[in-house]
Amino acid sequence: MNKRLDCAGKLLDLSLPQVMGILNSTPDSFSDGGVFFALDAAIDQARQMYREGAAIIDVGGESTRPGAEPVSLQEELDRVIPVIEALHAELPVVISIDTSKPEVMREAVKAGAGMINDVYALRRKGAVAAAVECNVPVCLMHMQGEPRLMQKQPHYDDVVDEIKSFLRRRIDICLEAGMRCEQLLVDPGFGFGKTLQHNLQLLNRLPDITALEFPVLVGMSRKSMLGVLLDERPVQGRLYGGIAATTIAWWLGASIVRVHDVGPTVDALKIATAVKQID
Ligand code: 7PJ
């Protein structure tokens, strides 16, 4: 498998754990201080994640949490493009655009994004073509259903096999459209149309997903699977549980971990890396 990911000229060494910091550019993520305040706050947060060791900053303008409503194209562009431009001018970090809209992918890459993170795995109309044009790495994530309804009644006969086949099909579609193998990453999509049991099976059998031989990205940070395991702990109380889950995922073969709390995650992965290097 390819161990070097070329993100529009910025190289990521996937033989080491790489941390993707989450930067939500949605207005509800900020206190109500207007557009400039929001932009400033976003850049500050990105600077801090970079200082703490994030190799990638994932910029998202549309919430994909369960129950979230869609946002318009213009609204999403207005939220993410100024952030990407500012980050690109200031930090040598890889910028990832978290979107499923083809127009946002194009504009984001023009503004300096070096990676596309699509929770719809390029299933939206025109998304495969846009990703081919953008010619940057793309993370294909599995989701059953759509954010508004996905946690209603998730069902699988075998969650790991079904997600693996889904990802294989999406990879094949991308390759047929002209994308390169070295450009593709996969993500089983923890929490996206999955019960706690599904998420636990997926994490336990993550090596079945890494067997696809594409770099695996995972995101469990602050997710409700942690809250449930920790006796309904609210979002602010899920850090240590998230660190444990993330470290297990890296140990089982994940290459990139998507998290809110970069510093603590980097520490945990340093320990895991030191132990793994003894092999
Ligand atoms: C994920 C994501 C994930 C990838 C979100 C949240 C929900 N992208 N975007 N993987 N989750 N690739 O962060 O709680 O797991 S949004």
Segment 163-190, tens digit of pLDDT: 999 999 999 999 999 999 999 999 999 9
From the candidates 79, 223, 233, 276, give the one annotated as an active-site residue. Answer: 223
SS3 174: helix
State yes or no: is 258 an active-site residue.
yes
State yes or no: is 152 an active-site residue.
no
Tell me the HSE value of 43 on the side-chain side, using a 13 A CA sphere: 17
Ligand 1, atom nearest to 190 Cα: 15
Contact of 222 with 264, CB cutoff 8 Å:
no
> Domain residues of the chain, as ranges?
4-276
Q: Phi and psi (nearest 5°) for 224?
A: -65, -25
Ligand 1, atom nearest to 219 Cα: 15
Q: Candidates 25, 117, 194, 257: which one to mutate for ligand 1, based on the most atoms within 8 Å of Cβ?
A: 117
Distance 49 CA to ligand 1 centre (A): 17
pLDDT for the residue numbered 31:
44
Please give the model's pTM, rounded to 2 decimal places: 0.96
Contacts of residue 126, defined as CB under 8 A and 6 or more positions apart, other chains included, come to 102
Which residue is closest in CA terms to ligand 1's atom 5? 64
Which residue is closest in CA terms to ligand 1's atom 9? 119
> pLDDT tens digits for the chain (279 residues)?
778 999 999 999 999 999 999 998 876 554 445 566 689 999 999 999 999 999 999 999 988 777 777 899 999 999 999 999 999 999 999 999 999 999 999 999 999 999 999 999 999 999 999 999 999 999 999 999 888 888 888 999 999 999 999 999 999 999 999 999 999 999 999 999 999 999 999 999 999 999 999 999 999 999 999 999 999 999 999 999 999 999 999 999 999 999 999 999 999 999 999 999 997
Which residue is closest in CA terms to ligand 1's atom 10? 219
Contact of 131 with 116, CB cutoff 8 Å:
yes
pLDDT digits (tens, 9 = 90+) for 92-114: 999 999 999 999 999 999 999 99
Contacts of residue 204, defined as CB under 8 A and 6 or more positions apart, other chains included, come to none
**Does any ligand 1 atom lie closer than 6 A to the CB of residue 223?**
yes
Contact of 40 with 78, CB cutoff 8 Å:
no
pLDDT for the residue numbered 30:
46
Query: Thinking of the domain 4-276, which architecture would CATH place it in?
Result: Alpha-Beta Barrel (3.20)
